[in-house]
Structure formats: C-alpha cells, structure tokens
Structure 1
Amino acid sequence: MQEFYERTNEICFLCTCNTDRTSVDCSNRGLTDLPTGIDAKVTKLNISSNDISTFPENIFKLNNLISLDISNNQLKELSENALQNLTSLEILNLSKNRFESWLSLNPNEVLKTATNLKILDLSGNKFNSMANLANQELLISPSLETLILDNCEIDSIHGRSPLSGLNNINVLKMNHNPLLRIQNLISPTLRSLYISNCQLSYINHNELSYLPSLVYLKISHNYRLQLPSSANFLFSSSLRYLDISYCNIFKPNLFGFPNLRKVIINHNMIRYLRSNEFINNTKLEYLDLSNNNIGSFKSDTFRGLTMIRYLDLSWNEIAQIPEDSLLEMPSLTQIKLARNYLNRVGHIKSTSLSVLDLSSCEISIIGKDSLEGFPSLVDLDLSHNLLSHIPDSISSNTLKYLNLNYNRLSSVSNYTFFMLPRLSGLSVIGNRFTNIWSRTFFDSNPYLDRLELSDNMWRCDCTDNNMFDFYEYITLEPNKKDESYNLICNSPVTFIGQTWLEACYFVWNPGERVGNADNLIWFIIVMIVGLSLCIILINTIRRSMNRRLAAMQTERERQVEEARDRLRQLRIRAEQEALCNTPDPRDLIAPPSYDEALSMPKLNVSCQSLNETGTGKTKRRRGRRKTKSSGDLLEETDRNGDVPVLDDIELAETTYDKNKRRRRRNRRYGSHEIAELDQSPGARRRRMSEYNTEDDSVIEVEAELERPLRPRIRRFSDENQPRESDF
C-alpha cells in the first residue's frame, strides 16, 4: 500500500491531478511513453503535446478510462489491440499526429474493443481521401456518434461510403479540407454535417437524399459553391438548419427544404428576389439575407413565410419597399433594413412588426402617418440618417423607444411627441439642437424615463427660467432621464465645454455665491490664524531646542573642567608622592661607624673650600645670588626639622667668638645651600671636634646624640645597615 501511494504521489508531482486523482494531465511534459504510477481509477487522461511515437501498451490497465487525449504526438499507426480492455472509453482524441493512411489505423479492428466510444477526433492528420479499402469499411464502430476529420487534406470521397461501418454516427465534421464534391455520403443516422471552408463548387441535387436524418447542414465559406437551379434543386425533407453564407449563391433556391427553420444566406451574390421565392418554406422562422446585392423585391416575394419572426435585409441596395410586402408575413416581429438606400419612410404596413431598424439608410423625410401602418411597433431606429425635421403629431400608440441619434434635427415643439403616449425612451444624441427644450414638450408622455440629449450644441442662458426648469425635469429623481454630466454647453464662449450645472450653478443658487464668499473669507482667516500658530509653535520649539543645546553645552564644559581639575590634582599628588618617595642620596652610602668616625682625620681645609672648585663664571653667578637672612635660614631649618643645627650655631656664637667670623657662610651661597652644608656629615664632625678640643663637653655631645630625630621615609635603603640619624 505504501508503494502504491508513493507511485501516486510521484505521478501527481510529474503531472497535474485533481483532488480525487481521477483526472491526470500530463500534457507538454516531453514524455515518450505513458508514465508509471497512474492509478486504474483514472477516468480522464491527457498526454497530449508530447513525443510519444508508439501507442502506450500498458494503457489497457486503465479500464475505467472515459476520456483519452493523445493528440499532438508522433503516432503513425495503431495496432489492432491498442484499445483493448478500454470498454469505458467514450472520447478518443488522436488529432495532430502523423497518420498518413487509413490502413495505419487498422480501422476495421481497432474500434471494436472500445464498445462505448462516442467521439473520435482524427483532425490534423493526412489521410488525403476517404476511399474504400479493398472492399473493406473505412471505419467500423457500432457506438461512434461523432467523427471529426478537420484539416485532414481530404480532397475527395469516392468508392464505398465511409460511413457505412458507423451504424450510430450523428455528427461528421470535415471543415478546412480541399474537398471539391460531396459524394457517397450515405448514413441513415447522420444528423449534422459540417463542410465549411472547403472548395465545394457543386452539390448534386439528390446528394442529400442519402442522409434522411440530416438536420443541420453548414457549408459556409465555400467561395465557389452554387446551388442547383429550380429545375434540379436540392432536396431534404429533414433539414432544419442551413448555413450557406460566404458562398457564390445568386438565388436562394430553398424550394426543396420544406421543413427549414433557420437559413443564413448572407455575404452572397443575390441580386433580386423573385415572386413566391419562399413559397415552400412555410416553417421558416429565421431568414438572414444581409450583405447581398438585393436591389428590389416584389410584394409577394415573402408569401408563404407564415411563421417567420426575424428577417434581415440589411447591407443591401434596396431603394423601395412595397407597401404590402410585409403583410405576407403575419408572424414577423423584427426586420432589419439598415444600410440600404431608402430615402423616406413610406406607408409600410405590418400587423405584427415590433422592431424596425432603418438606420443608416439616408432617410431625409418621415411622413406624418408613416407609423400608422405598424400597430404593434415598439422600437424604431432611425439613427445615422439625414432627418432635419420631425413632423408634428407623428402617431403611434405602442411606440416605446425612438432612436434619432446622429441626424440633422435642430428643433422640436410641443406637438412633436404629443401622439406618442407610450414613449419611454428618446435619444437625440449628436444632432444640432441649440435652444433649450421645455418640459411641456413631454406633458403627454408620462412614461418617459430615458432621455438622451448629449453631443448637441446647446446655448446656455442661465437667466432663462425654462433652462433651470428643464434641467430639473431631466435630472431629478424619481424619473431621472439623463445624467447631468452629459449636458454640455456649446455657447456662449465663456461656457464652452462646461456642463449646465457648472455654468449656471451660482445663477440658479444665488445664496451659494454669498455663502461661498463668506466661506472664502473664513477660510482665509483660518488659514492666517493657522499659519501664525504654526510659526509660533516652530519658534517655541526652536527656542526650546536652543536652550536645551546651551544647557547641554554648559554641562559639557563643566564636565570638561571637572575632568581637568581631577587630572591636575592627580598630577600634583603624583609629584608629591614621587618627591616623598625619592631616596636621600646620602643614605645610599653607609655612614661610618662611631669608632671609624673618631679615627678619621680632620680636614685641613674648611668646607668652604669646596665651593672654590667651580669656574670663575660659576663663582660670579653664585655671588650674585641673593642669600637669605638669618630669619629665613631659621625658618627654613625649622621647616626642615633640623633643630640641632640651630643649636650648634648658637653654641658656636656664644662659646667661640673667635671662630665666629670664620664660620660665617659665604654670601655667594644661597640659604638652601648653607642649610645643606650645615647639615652635612663633615660640618657635624667639625662641630663635634671643636666641642671636644676646647671644652671637653662630652655631656653636650651626648645630649646632642640623644636628642630625638624626625623619622624620615627612605626608599631603596638597607634597614640592617646603620644610618647617620641613629647616632
């Protein structure tokens, strides 16, 4: 089961299937054979327009097939068993293949198995002729009803009848073949025969007698075909429909068809109609003789057409209609006489005529009593003529629709339509009316509900009350007779091209003009106020945006300044930390021990001699420097925390007056340099030696050594090594 569904899905993917998958369309798929996977329940199969050259052998599995289309392929022959097991097949289309001979079809055997075949289409092949096949039947099928042989290049029918093996044939189509004559078509069941667009030139007068059931015969577009003369006319008692249009017929010659219902003989060469031309066609209901060269006919030409309802004599050369010629057709309801040369509407009579078409006939005169002969007339078409006047009191108690389009009418009066009480539609498009009509013209036409007045040369006088009154009559509900946009002014110059309403609106509605002026003023005021509000709103938005931008700019500047302050503070803090953390260069050298310091020799030269190592320029530059006062020096020493130096200086000044001048600092050094020299280890040792030699005051030295020192943060020093501050 799963494999079955897969095959079904595959065929529906390749072709087109309906919902229940009973119809499969595989046309235009480039197939060379019947695709696999088609279910046996398929009833309609289309494999046309492919490249199949051999009739599919496995098609016999589709025993439910009703319609098979294998047209437009490459088939050249059919085997005897091609349609085996296709007992349900009703329609077989083999058109547009490459069959060139009837023998390639096996015509005596191939259709026997298709017991329900109804339609066989073989058009578009090349059989060339329909002849007997060595005393065999052309086709044998007890069920076939329709045989189509269009475009098969058949030029003759001879020998045994090709229809003798088709016991149930109803329709035979042989259109578009180079067929010259109809011969040996014998069939008791054939009802419809189509032989259009062939080359028929003659039909034997007894040819249709072999088709006793023929009802429909269409032999149009045979440009050389002529019917036999009255002495040897065609005969068929069963024929109902005959179409011999576009042929070369000079006379109708329908005497041999007593049961005709519809005849089309248009576009032929008929020049005149004789007396009693249709005397034997008493059942004829539709006769089309248009587009011939009929110039005249007699008053008794249509005698015997007691059941005719439609007669078309348009596009002929009829100049005069006999007064009583239409009375011979008591059932006639519609006649078309358009495109003839009738220059006036005479006293034509017809008791049953309801539709009369006299358009494009160059009619220039209508008699006052010309419509009195049509007691049943409902629709009269007089368009495209040369009428310039309609007589007053033209009379018809039944006329409803009057068409006067595209004539030369220029005026009507109160009595023009007075005697047309049933008039419900009037059309005068494309005439020459200039003066506006009055609604009083239609006081006697209560049923008028359609009035077409467009494409005229109306002169619009808006001050004329009649114009406004008539405009309301033709446009207002409930009986609106015309659309207002179809009423166009042609004069004066200021109104050309405008509708009546556009041209006269303010004249017919004077209050609207004042109202419109007031509305215009108010509109201008509102526009000015609205524009002012828009300007104010725009300025407000602009100021708000400017303030916002200024605030944003101020905030941005404040943030930038704060960032700069933070960076400045961070830089100062970094400099201070770097200054505090910088190690003292004197700490990089380990100080001498106490014993070493006592054993060290004294300096022969004072520390002041160290300053003399510089160059003369340096000495002069240093001499120019401004030294600090003793107060500044004291403040600086206090700031640096070296209080013992100040005490040493005071002790030296009090105890040793002799060496006071010698210990005076050279003025060429600055205060900071003096402080550095006083704090140097050499200066301390000298002071200590001086104290020891003169006063032997060990107690003061010890006090000096025991004096607490300011702790200092020193980096890059060894904590285990002794420092000068430890002494």
Structure 2
Amino acid sequence: MRFVLDRVLLLFGIISSCLAVSCPWPCRCTWVVDSLYADCSRRSLQIYPNFDGIPVEHLDLSGNQFGEFPTQYADMDSLIYLDLSNNQISAIGSKTLIGFTSLRTLLLANNSIDSWEALSPNEAFKYAPSLKRLGLDGNRLGSFGNGESFELLTSSSLTELEISSCGITTIGGDQLVNQLPGLERLNLANNKLAQIAALPSRTLRDLDLSNCSIREVSGFFLEALQNLEALNLSRNTQLQFDTLSEDPILTYVLRKLDVSYCNLDSIELSGLPQLTEIRLRGNLLRVVDATTFANNTMLEILDISQNVLRLIGQDAFANLKRLKSLNLAFNEIARLDRNFIRNNDVLVDLNLSRNVLQKLTKIVSNSVRTINMSWCEIASIESTALSSLSVIQKLDLSNNLISDMPTFMRSETLQQLNLANCRLTTVRNNTFREFPELADLHLNGNRLTSPIPPYYFGSNKFLDQLWLGDNPWICDCHNPLFMEFYDFLTSKPAKIKDKNHLRCAAPAIFYGKLWEFACADVWIVNARSSSNGEKAWSVIMITLFGLGVLILGYTCLQKFLRKQKIRQSDRELEENDEELRRIRDLNDRILLEDATPSLQHTQEISLLPSYEDALRMPKLVRPVKSMMDLSGPERTRNSRKLRRSQTHADGEGSQSEAEDGLQLDSRQRFRSVEMLSNRDKERTAQYGPYRRTGYMEYNQSGSRRFSIEDSRFPAAHLKTQNLQSAEQIGNFQSYENSPYTKRRPKIAEIPPFKRVNMMADSVEFLTDPEYEDMGSKHGSPFAKRKPKTPILPPPPTMKVSAQVYTLQQSPVLELDPAIEDYFSAAKKQASSSTIASDFQELEEPELRSLPDDNRSSVSRSDVEQDLERGKRKKRKNSASRRVSGSFTAANAAESSSSDSEHNVLVHKPMRETLF
C-alpha cells in the first residue's frame, strides 16, 4: 500500500510538474529527481520547439527531420544533454557551438555527415568547454586521425568518442594523442579496419575493436596503450591470438579481454597476468587443462561456453583461487571429476547446462551456491550427489530425463529445486523429507497423475511456492484426497503459482478443464458450507466492528459534551467575574463620589445657616426630609395652612392670627464653646464599623454623651446616608444654653435591649414617655418618669396587657403644628423623652381637620382651653426633640385617659435598627 501511494504521489508530482513548466507541443516534459527531461523524439518535427524560460537539462530530439543544428538553444544555460540522432543534419559550422558552455553530451549518430571537414572538427568543439561525450556513429567519415590538420578532431575536454559504423578504414597515430589529450573511451566497432596502427595514448582505458576484421594484435600496439584496461576483440573471425605470432602479447595493465566468436581453437594468455575477466565463448576450444590458465591467477569471471569442450582436467581451474563465476554451458562434457572445483574456495556460480552428463554425480565444493544442470540429459541421480555441496541453495535439473528421485537424497541448505519438464511419475513420502529449507519446488511438466498427500510436505515448513501445471492429472472429484490436496494448494496463502495450468487429462468429460470447473458441481456443497462459515464470521466481525464504532462514537460524544460543559462553565465563570468586576467598579465609584463631595454639595453646605441663625429659626415638630422642604414658599404656606386646619377646626380667627404672627422670645440663645468643641470631636471621632450600641453617661457639666469605649455604632459607610446616628444625639452637649436645660432626663444604664420585648415596634416605643399612659411598659425603667399634667377628672380605667402591641390607626388623625414658637410667653412643658429615634420615618396621613368635641362647645371655660393648649405644646415639644438634624421620627400617639381621644399610627422602622 505504501509503495502504491508513493507511486501515485510521484505520478501526481510528474503531472503537476509537467503542467507547471508548460512544455511545448508535442514534447513531453518530466522531472527526474531534480532534472527536467524533455522528450521530443520520433515526432517527425521539422521546426525546433521553443523552450524559452524552461530549465531543460536533458533534451531528446532524435528521430525527426531536422536539417540544421539548433543554434537557438545556445542561450539555454541549463542544457547538459542534447540528442540529435537519426536526423538529417549534414554539417556543423565552426561557430555553431558558441554559447553551449554547459553541454556535456552531444549525440549526432545516424545523420548525413559525409566527412570530417563537414564537422569543422578543429574549430567547432573548442567552443563547448564542458563537452565530455560525442557520438558520431553511423556517419560516413572514412578515416580517423590521419588526414590534414583541418580534419583532425580537436577537443581538450572530450573523454568519450563513439565513431562505430563510420566506414573508417585507417587510424592515425600521434596526432590522435595530441588533439584529444583527455580521451578515455574509444569505440571503433563495426568498421573495416584490416590493420591498426599504434595509438600512443596515456589516457585511453577502454577500446572497442569488435567486428573490425582484425587479424592480429601485436604486442607493440598494446604497449603503446599504457593504461588500457578493457579490450574488446570479439567477432573478429580471422584473429590470431597465440604464441605463433612474431610479436607476442605482453601487458601488465589489461584487466578485461573479450575474444568471443573469433573461431579460436587455442589461446595463449600467459602474457596477460592481470586479467580478471575473460570471455572465450563461441570459439573452437576442445581442451582446458592446468596449463591453459596457469598464469592467470587473478581471474574472477571465466566464460568458456559454446565451445567443443569434452574433457575438463582435474586441475584445470586449480590455480584460479579468485574465481567466482564459471560458465561451461553449451559444450560436450560427458563426465565431470568430483574434485574439479574443489580448490576454488570463492566460486559461487557454476553453469553446466546444455552438456551430456547423463548422470548427476557427486561434486565437492564448499562455496558453490547455484548449480545449473538443465538440458543435460540426466536420467539418474546419485543419492549422495548433494552431500558434498555444503552451502548449495539453488539446483536446476529441469528439462532432463529424470523419472524418479532417490530416497535418501538430502541437503540442509537447499532452498530452490527445479524438476520441471522431467519424467517424474510419482512422489513418495520421503522424496522431499530431507530438504527442510525447501521453499520453491517446480514439478510442472512432468507425468504426475495422482494427487500428492499434503503430509508429504510436512517437513517442508518454508514451502510457499509450488508449480504443478502441465501434468496429466486424473480428476476424481469425489476422492477426499483430491479435495484435500486442492485445499492445501489453494488455502491462503496460496502455494500454487500456476493455478491456470492445473488441468484434467482424465476422465474424458473433464479433459482440458481446470480443476475448479471440472469439480465445481461436487465441491459446491463444501464451498457453501465454507461460505456459510465465512459468512457467519463476517457477520460477527461486522457486528464487532459496528459495536466498536458505536463505542468510539459514544466516547467521542461524551468527551465533546464534557468539553462543551467545561467551556460553558468557564464562560459563565468569566461572565460572573466580569459582573463582579463591574459591581466592584460601581461600588468604588460610589464610595469615591461619597468620599469626595461634589461642587453642588459643597455649595449646599456653604449655604447652610450659622448656629445663631439656626437657633433663631423655628423648630420643626413634624419630620421633614430636607431643608428644601422649609425653604420653599409653597411649603411654608402649606405648613401654615396645615397648622391652621389642625388647630382651628371650629374657625377661631383671633387665635390663628395670634399664632401666625410668631414673636421671637426675649431670651437670646448663645452658642456654647463646649457644644462646638463636642461637635468638632463628634465630627472627627473614629468609630469602628461594627460598633453599633453603647451606654449613656453624664459629664460634669450635666450634658449627656455616649461612651466611645465599649460602644458599637453603625458602620462607617452607613454614615454617608441622610441619617443621624444615636451617637450624635447622645453626644449632644448644648443643654446649658438651651431652653431645655432645666429638663434633665435621667438615662438609666441598662444592658443593651435585654429587657426589650421583641414584639415592640421600636426603641422609641419603649423610651418615649408619650406611650407610658398606655400602661404597656411596666418593665421599663422609664415607666416611673411620668410628665406632670394638669389635674383632670379621672378617666375611665383601661386595662392593658403585659405585652406590647402595635397601635391601630384611627380613622380620624390629629396632627401637631409643624413649627413651635420658642419665644411665646406660654410655659413650655418638659418632655420625658430621652433618646429620640433617628431610624423611623412617619408616613404623613391624609391632612384634614380633626373633630374635637371639646372645641365644638361654645361654653368651654378658659381653664379647659389653657389645658388643651398646654397639651398641644407638650406634644410639639416632645416631637421636636425627636427630630434632630435632617432625621425624621414618627409622631407617637398620645395616650389619653379619655376614650374619645384617638391614636396616631406609628410606622415600623424603615432602616436597620440598633439591634
């Protein structure tokens, strides 16, 4: 599979490269490694294709009809190979090759060049400094190196020259060496050279003079070629190469000599001691003995095939210690000495085919691996024939007359045994038992008729290739052995290699048919059973594969969902972090804005009245949310109207006019230095964020304050709200200069809210004396402090339970005056309230006149009117003390002894209490 993929990729690369270079029509361009080949051969072209911009390195233009040399390719610096063979080029100018600086190979074989003068040999090839190979085969040149100077081929870079079949009859001498100083290979084959002059060359290494009608090779000729290594003199049928020559051959440089098909009946090679390869095939040699190759101890390859050898001496090859290949095929050898190759310790290949041995006898060799004895008319084999071939691997006995294999024939190393086209009729159970390494067995073309039991090959564990075709098999389809043998051959991996040649010779109805078609009707049941089993296994495998795919898909889905959930969690976490970051930024901005008062807030603070002006201002009885409620004219008018509607429901004009014109009190309020210092301390004091409550104590001056130590107050960030803490109220120390100085309430030091009933509405409900008349605070220490009230008729007795309940809202509400007159002549009643609640807001009820049964009577006495006015002032004073700074407090309902008086709704705290 990998090989096919590589081939496909290579083909795709070649196709893509061909498309990329835009090869001109009708040429075909291919990339070989990193070289671009352009094939334009045999296209009958008369005009050269255009390769401008194409980096062609190998250009083949052979087999066309070009008449001139392509000088337009001189600008192609990448061109290194140019083939112009089999065209009609007749001449090359002296300056034709100008520009071909990279050209290495130029082939001009089989053109119309008639002489060396047409090639301009002394001038043209000087302009190709890289030219290494020049092919001029098939042109009519006539001679070589013995003409005028302008006919001498001149090139300092040329190393290979091919001028075979050029009609050359004579060869020059010294001029060849002088004009071609780098020539290494010269091919003069197929020329009519009756005689060869000396070629003094120190560079020539390979000379081909085959089929040149040479009769004699002198020693003087070989001595002139000082570095000649290979000499081919084959097919010179009149050549004399023996000791009878007047000038014997002697050279110590020649390595390869080919004198095949020269009709030599004897040969003398003693003058060539350095030969490593000699080919003597196709001659008339009859005897080879110890003296034939006595001086050629360096021989490695010896070919004496196609001679008339009948006798091989015992020591004929004894001196050839380096001999690796020996070819004695196509001779008339009838008998071989068992020790004729015993001394050749490196001999590997021995070819004895096409001889007349008739019997395979014992051959001794410790190195031979391949023996070819086919077509030797061998009829019998000795059982010990292979016992002395210790490393034999391949034995070819095909096309012989062998009818039976010996019983005890054995070899521990034999891997391939070819017995094809012999006369074997039977194979016994021990025929191949002693060949444990046997892997390739040819039994085709014999006379086998009966199937071979598979257990005959039980010892051949490596047997994987069997040829059994072209035998006259008797197809007994009902024979279990026949079926078993067929299964043995065809079961995967199939051992049979010529399955299409397994044909039946009997019975007559099956003659010429393949085994499969002849026995198909009988073997179909077995085929079906086997097919059913295979089908069952296929279903099982498909089911398992499907389950595997499902499990894999489920696992992938789970992993995907898990990753999706993790990504979603991460996304939610990021969103939460972003939301928390935004909230934190918003809080930081809010705190920064609260910590840094704006310009408008600063202006509002600067517009606040001074302390003397604040004391002169009327005091609020009802809670207000800001100073803006009092500064507006409409608010002032509405407040006056409200007071007027509350206090004068019966239309008393004189009294409302007296209250509208408030007069300043003759007593002047002055600022106290101690009050200002205490306020400065209160403003600059540092309080813990979790200290919420504390206890009251009196200083020497008589004013009350909260103890900073062991006290807990609201957190620092709550002080930015528009509320006034209990600490600020407790630390107020301006009673010395206040009209309330004479009223010094006692503040009992009790544990914080330990005696508070959790069903009460607020702290004010427990500490305000206005709620004491209801009789619901018996356990409070403030219950004994009751304000002095005028003596009135005893009211009806009211029973109050021990628990404190929330007051019900009366259908008719009575509101106190919004502003108290500090400077009126009436005596102000002392309030028993100690600590005003600064954490409640009073929801303003519907403003309307409250019915008053006492005021409706015209005959009311003056005493009663004074008593009623005193009560209203008392309520105003107690409410005004609870309202301090910008805080609001609820108007407590006045507990009256009379059943006709109504209660006022006190709302629950709208902020976090002191608990």
Match for residue 347 of structure 2? 332
Distance 1:110 1:387, change over 3 A: same
Match for residue 364 of structure 2? 349
Match for residue 168 of structure 2? 154
SS state of the match for residue 117, structure 1? coil
Distance 1:504 1:314, change over 3 A: same
Cα offset, 1:61, TM superposition: 6.7
Say yes or no: does 1:144 pair with 2:158: yes
* Alpha-carbon distance in structure 2 between the residues aligned to 1:442 and 1:14: 61
Q: Is the 8 A contact 1:121 1:147 kept in 2?
A: yes
Cα offset, 1:387, TM superposition: 1.2
Match for residue 223 of structure 1? 237
Say yes or no: does 1:263 pair with 2:293: no
SS state of the match for residue 293, structure 1? coil
* Alpha-carbon distance in structure 2 between the residues aligned to 1:28 and 1:459: 59
Provide structure 1 residue ranges, at least 5 long, that are not aligned to the other structure. Answer: 1-10, 517-727
Q: Is the 8 A contact 2:146 2:170 kept in 1?
A: no
* Alpha-carbon distance in structure 1 between the residues aligned to 2:335 and 2:266: 20
Match for residue 185 of structure 1 among 164, 182, 199? 199
Match for residue 384 of structure 1 among 391, 395, 399? 399
Match for residue 571 of structure 2? none
Cα offset, 1:466, TM superposition: 3.2
Match for residue 268 of structure 2? 253
Cα offset, 1:118, TM superposition: 1.7
Say yes or no: does 1:371 pair with 2:386: yes
One-letter amino acid of the counterpart of residue 260, structure 2: S
Q: Is the 8 A contact 2:432 2:457 kept in 1?
A: yes
Say yes or no: does 1:395 pair with 2:410: yes
Say yes or no: does 1:476 pair with 2:510: no
Match for residue 121 of structure 1? 135
CA deviation profile, 1:587-614 (whole Å, cap 9, x unmatched): xxxxxxxxxxxxxxxxxxxxxxxxxxxx
Match for residue 173 of structure 1 among 176, 187, 191? 187
One-letter amino acid of the counterpart of residue 242, structure 2: P
Distance 1:60 1:454, change over 3 A: closer
CA deviation profile, 1:284-326 (whole Å, cap 9, x unmatched): 3222222222222211111222222222211111111111101
Match for residue 427 of structure 2? 412
Cα offset, 1:81, TM superposition: 4.3
Question: Where does 1:32-47 land on structure 2 (aligned, <5 Å)?
Answer: none
The TM-score with structure 2 as length reference comes to 0.49
One-letter amino acid of the counterpart of residue 292, structure 1: N
Say yes or no: does 1:202 pair with 2:216: yes
Deviates more, 1:59-68 or 1:203-212: 59-68
Distance 1:79 1:418, change over 3 A: closer
Say yes or no: does 1:447 pair with 2:462: yes
Match for residue 550 of structure 1? none
* Alpha-carbon distance in structure 1 between the residues aligned to 2:362 and 2:495: 35
SS state of the match for residue 161, structure 2? strand
Distance 1:97 1:470, change over 3 A: closer
Cα offset, 1:106, TM superposition: 4.6
Cα offset, 1:493, TM superposition: 3.3
SS state of the match for residue 466, structure 2? strand
Match for residue 425 of structure 1 among 435, 440, 445? 440
SS state of the match for residue 263, structure 2? coil
Distance 1:406 1:511, change over 3 A: closer
Distance 1:515 1:194, change over 3 A: closer
Q: Is the 8 A contact 1:75 1:98 kept in 2?
A: yes
Match for residue 302 of structure 2? 287
Cα offset, 1:208, TM superposition: 2.1
Match for residue 889 of structure 2? none
SS state of the match for residue 112, structure 1? helix
Say yes or no: does 1:273 pair with 2:264: no
SS state of the match for residue 187, structure 1? coil
CA deviation profile, 1:639-669 (whole Å, cap 9, x unmatched): xxxxxxxxxxxxxxxxxxxxxxxxxxxxxxx
CA deviation profile, 1:84-122 (whole Å, cap 9, x unmatched): 454444334444455444455454444334333222233
* Alpha-carbon distance in structure 2 between the residues aligned to 1:22 and 1:336: 42
Match for residue 651 of structure 1? none
CA deviation profile, 1:167-222 (whole Å, cap 9, x unmatched): 11111111221112332222111122222232222211342222222233333333
SS state of the match for residue 484, structure 2? helix
SS state of the match for residue 316, structure 1? coil
Question: Where does 1:319-718 land on structure 2 (aligned, <5 Å)?
Answer: 319-478=334-493, 480-481=495-496, 486-504=501-519
One-letter amino acid of the counterpart of residue 145, structure 1: T
Distance 1:112 1:371, change over 3 A: same
Match for residue 6 of structure 1? none
Cα offset, 1:129, TM superposition: 1.9
* Alpha-carbon distance in structure 1 between the residues aligned to 2:359 and 2:139: 56
SS state of the match for residue 328, structure 1? coil
* Alpha-carbon distance in structure 2 between the residues aligned to 1:374 and 1:295: 24
Q: Is the 8 A contact 1:244 1:265 kept in 2?
A: yes
* Alpha-carbon distance in structure 2 between the residues aligned to 1:359 and 1:482: 21
* Alpha-carbon distance in structure 1 between the residues aligned to 2:472 and 2:409: 25
Provide structure 2 residue ranges, at least 5 long, that are not aligned to the other structure. Answer: 1-21, 532-915
* Alpha-carbon distance in structure 1 between the residues aligned to 2:522 and 2:38: 71
CA deviation profile, 1:564-609 (whole Å, cap 9, x unmatched): xxxxxxxxxxxxxxxxxxxxxxxxxxxxxxxxxxxxxxxxxxxxxx
Cα offset, 1:426, TM superposition: 1.9
Cα offset, 1:376, TM superposition: 0.9
SS state of the match for residue 335, structure 1? strand
Distance 1:236 1:505, change over 3 A: same
* Alpha-carbon distance in structure 2 between the residues aligned to 1:330 and 1:464: 52
Cα offset, 1:43, TM superposition: 6.9
* Alpha-carbon distance in structure 2 between the residues aligned to 1:310 and 1:319: 21
Match for residue 640 of structure 1? none
Cα offset, 1:238, TM superposition: 2.9
One-letter amino acid of the counterpart of residue 143, structure 2: S
Give the percent of matched residue pairs that are identical in Structure 1 and Structure 2.
35
CA deviation profile, 1:125-168 (whole Å, cap 9, x unmatched): 32322243458893332211111212211012245352332111
SS state of the match for residue 490, structure 1? strand
Indicate the structure whose relative CO is greater, using CA pairs within 8 Å and at least 6 residues apart: 2
Q: Is the 8 A contact 1:95 1:123 kept in 2?
A: yes
One-letter amino acid of the counterpart of residue 354, structure 1: R
Say yes or no: does 1:317 pair with 2:332: yes
Cα offset, 1:382, TM superposition: 0.9
Distance 1:132 1:513, change over 3 A: closer
The TM-score with structure 1 as length reference comes to 0.61
* Alpha-carbon distance in structure 1 between the residues aligned to 2:74 and 2:474: 82
* Alpha-carbon distance in structure 2 between the residues aligned to 1:429 and 1:208: 53
CA deviation profile, 1:379-405 (whole Å, cap 9, x unmatched): 111111111221111121111211111
* Alpha-carbon distance in structure 1 between the residues aligned to 2:273 and 2:489: 53
Distance 1:291 1:57, change over 3 A: closer
Distance 1:46 1:513, change over 3 A: closer
Distance 1:299 1:233, change over 3 A: farther
SS state of the match for residue 126, structure 1? coil
Match for residue 573 of structure 1? none
SS state of the match for residue 474, structure 1? helix
SS state of the match for residue 193, structure 1? strand
Cα offset, 1:123, TM superposition: 2.8
